[in-house]
C-alpha cells in the first residue's frame, strides 16, 4: 500500500478468486462450496434472498467471518490468513457505520491515519474523496446531521480514500427511499466506472443487480445458482430458482413433443392433468381447477431452445409476463382464459388470467390493456423464442 500512496486515488484494478469456500453456522450451511472469479475492474453483484449466504461470502472476503474451508485470492495474494485490518479492502456497510463522534472529514481520514500517512497526503486525499462525492461543503459536520443519501456518500468516500484493492458493498442502498436509491445507483455505477475499481456488491434487490452489474451471481442456500451477465441471467435463467428470483415468471407444466437440433417443441399440459407433474420446484403456481373458467384445450405447443431432451419427457416451461400478448380468438397455439385481476402499474398493466394451464400473469403496455375488464375472456399467445424449459427433477 505504501507504493500506492503517492498515486492519489488512482487504483490498480485487481481480480478476486474464490475457491471452494465453505462456512457453517451450527446446523446452517451458509456457504456450501463457492467458486468465483471476478475480473479486474469488474462490477460483480451477489444477489439472492435473505439467508442465501451472500453477506456471509462478502464478510469472508472482508475478513469478519472465517471460512471453514476454501481460499480467497486477491492480486495473487491469499487473503484468508490475513486479519481484516491488513487486507486493504474498502467496505461500505449496509447502515454505513459512520463513526458518530468524528466529523465527515475525520471519518474519511480515518483509514489513512491508521496507515500513518503523512498529514499533507491525508488532507489531499480527503479533499479529493469528498469532492468526488460532492460533499466538500459537509466536511466539518458530524454524520448525525447528514441525510441518508449524504451518509451513504460519506461511507463510499471513506472506503475509497484508502485506495483499496477491492470495493465491497453490503446492500449500501437498502436504507434509502425508492427515488434516491435509483439516483444513487447511477452515481455508484459512474464512480465505479471512472475509477475502474473491482467491486463486489451484495443486494437482495434483483432490479438493482440488473441495473448495476457487469456480472451477477445468483445465490441460493449457500450456492451459486448461475453466474452471468444481467441479460443472460434474465433471458436464459439456468435454474427455476433463478427464473423465479430474477423478474416475474410463469411456470407451466409441459411435455416434450418433438426435438430437432438444439430445439424442442413442448406441449403444455392442462392443469387438470398435471397433478402428478406438479411440484417440481417451489416457484410453480399452485394447480387450479380451471374447469369452470375454460374447457380443456389441446395442442398449445411452444418452441424453445433446449438440449438433451427426449420426446415424452415431462418438463416445466418458464414464461416471462412481458413475453405474452393478446391474440385474436381462435388463433392456433394460444391459450384462452378469463381475466381475474387487473393491476395498473403506470407504463404497463399486469393481468392475471385463469386458463386451462393454470393462472398466468402477463404484462402489457398500458395502451394495449385499455378497455379490458375483469372477467373478460382473452386469448394469450406466447412470443416466439421466449420460453425457457427446465427438466423436472426426478425421484
Binding footprint of other proteins on the chain (CB under 8 A): 25, 59, 62-66, 80-91, 93-95, 97-101, 110-111, 114-115, 142, 144-145, 155, 158-159, 162, 168
CB-nearer residue toward other proteins: 108 or 317: 108
CB of 162 to other proteins, least distance (A): 6
Q: Which of 179, 181, 206 is nearest to 54 (CA)?
A: 206
All residues at 6 or more sequence positions from 179 whose CB lies less than 8 Å from its CB, including other chains = none
> In a 10 Å sphere around its CB, with 0-12 CB exposed, 13-18 middle and 19+ buried, how is residue 271 labelled?
buried
Nearer to other proteins, 90 or 337 (CB): 90
Nearer to other proteins, 10 or 113 (CB): 113
CB of 225 to other proteins, least distance (A): 23
11 or 389: whose CB is closer to other proteins?
11
The distance of closest approach from Cβ of residue 177 to other proteins in the complex, given in angstroms and rounded to an integer, is 18
Is-contact 353 375, C-beta < 8 A? no
Query: How many whole angstroms separate alpha carbon 66 and alpha carbon 226?
Result: 24
We find the least distance from the C-beta atom of residue 91 to other proteins, in angstroms, to be 4
User: In this complex, which beta carbon is closest to other proteins, that of residue 59 or of residue 223?
Assistant: 59
Residues 6+ apart with CB under 8 A from 163: 1, 4, 5, 7, 9, 10, 11
Report in angstroms how near the CB of residue 64 gets to other proteins at its nearest: 5
- Least CB distance from residue 155 to other proteins, whole Å? 8
What minimum distance in Å lies between the beta carbon of 200 and other proteins? Answer: 13
Cα 91 to Cα 74, 160, 328, 379: the distances in Å are: 15, 8, 55, 51
SS3 360: strand
Nearest CA to 12 among 167, 154, 229, 213? 167
CA angle, 339 then 342 then 347, to 5°: 130
What is the Cα–Cα distance from 312 to 31, expressed in whole angstroms?
37
Q: Minimum distance from CB of 148 to other proteins (Å)?
A: 16
Rounded to whole angstroms, the Cα distance separating 336 from 178 reads 37
The nearest distance, CB 118 to other proteins, in angstroms, is 15
Closer residue to other proteins in complex, CB, 59/320: 59
Question: What is the DSSP code (8-state) at residue 164?
Answer: -
Closest to 317 (Cα-Cα) out of 267, 362, 276: 267
Q: Return the number of the residue (81 or 262) whose C-beta is nearest other proteins.
A: 81
Contacts of 339 (CB under 8 A, 6+ apart): 351, 352, 353, 372, 373, 374, 375, 376, 378
What's the alpha-carbon Rg for the chain, to the nearest Å?
A: 25
Q: Which is nearer to other proteins, 154 or 317 (CB)?
A: 154
Whose Cβ is closer to other proteins: residue 116's or residue 179's?
A: 116
Cβ atoms of 62 and 168 within 8 Å: the answer is: yes
Amino acid at each position: 500500500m505504501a507504493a500506492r500512496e503517492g498515486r492519489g486515488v488512482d487504483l490498480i484494478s485487481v481480480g478476486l478468486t474464490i475457491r471452494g469456500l465453505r462456512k457453517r453456522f451450527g446446523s446452517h450451511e451458509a456457504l456450501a462450496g463457492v467458486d468465483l472469479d471476478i475480473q479486474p475492474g469488474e462490477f460483480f453483484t451477489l444477489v439472492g434472498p435473505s439467508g442465501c449466504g451472500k453477506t456471509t461470502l462478502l464478510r469472508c472476503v472482508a475478513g469478519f467471518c472465517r471460512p471453514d474451508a476454501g481460499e480467497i485470492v486477491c492480486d495473487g495474494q491469499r487473503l484468508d490468513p490475513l486479519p481484516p485490518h491488513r487486507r486493504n479492502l474498502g467496505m461500505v456497510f449496509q447502515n454505513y457505520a459512520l463513526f458518530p463522534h468524528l466529523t465527515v472529514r475525520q471519518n474519511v481520514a480515518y483509514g489513512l491515519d491508521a496507515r500513518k500517512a503523512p498529514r499533507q497526503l491525508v488532507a489531499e486525499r480527503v479533499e479529493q474523496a469528498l469532492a468526488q462525492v460532492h460533499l466538500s461543503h459537509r466536511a466539518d459536520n458530524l454524520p448525525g446531521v447528514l441525510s441518508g443519501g449524504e451518509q451513504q456518500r460519506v461511507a463510499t468516500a471513506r472506503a475509497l480514500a484508502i485506495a483499496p484493492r477491492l470495493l465491497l458493498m453490503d446492500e449500501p442502498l437498502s436504507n434509502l427511499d425508492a427515488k434516491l436509491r435509483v439516483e444513487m445507483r447511477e452515481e455508484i455505477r459512474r464512480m465505479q466506472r471512472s475509477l475502474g475499481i473491482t467491486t463486489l456488491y451484495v443486494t437482495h434487490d434483483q432490479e438493482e443487480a440488473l441495473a448495476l452489474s457487469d456480472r451477477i451471481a445468483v445465490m441460493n442456500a449457500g450456492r451459486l445458482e448461475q453466474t452471468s451477465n444481467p441479460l443472460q441471467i434474465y433471458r436464459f435463467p439456468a435454474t427455476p430458482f433463478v427464473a423465479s428470483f430474477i423478474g416475474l415468471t410463469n411456470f407451466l407444466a409441459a411435455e416434450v413433443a418433438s426435438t430437432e437440433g438444439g430445439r424442442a417443441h413442448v406441449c403444455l399440459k392442462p392443469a387438470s392433468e398435471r397433478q402428478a407433474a406438479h411440484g417440481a420446484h417451489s416457484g410453480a403456481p399452485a394447480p387450479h381447477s380451471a374447469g369452470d373458467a375454460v374447457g380443456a384445450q389441446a395442442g398449445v405447443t411452444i418452441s424453445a431452445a433446449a438440449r438433451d431432451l427426449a420426446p415424452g419427457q415431462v418438463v416445466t416451461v418458464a414464461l416471462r409476463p412481458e413475453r405474452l400478448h393478446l391474440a385474436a380468438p381462435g388463433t392456433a397455439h394460444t391459450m384462452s382464459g378469463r381475466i381475474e385481476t387487473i393491476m395498473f402499474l403506470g407504463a404497463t398493466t399486469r393481468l392475471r388470467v385463469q386458463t386451462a394451464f393454470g393462472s398466468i400473469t402477463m404484462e402489457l403496455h398500458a395502451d394495449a390493456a385499455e378497455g379490458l375488464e375483469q372477467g373478460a375472456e382473452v386469448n394469450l399467445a406466447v412470443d416466439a423464442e421466449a420460453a425457457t424449459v427446465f427438466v423436472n427433477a426426478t425421484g
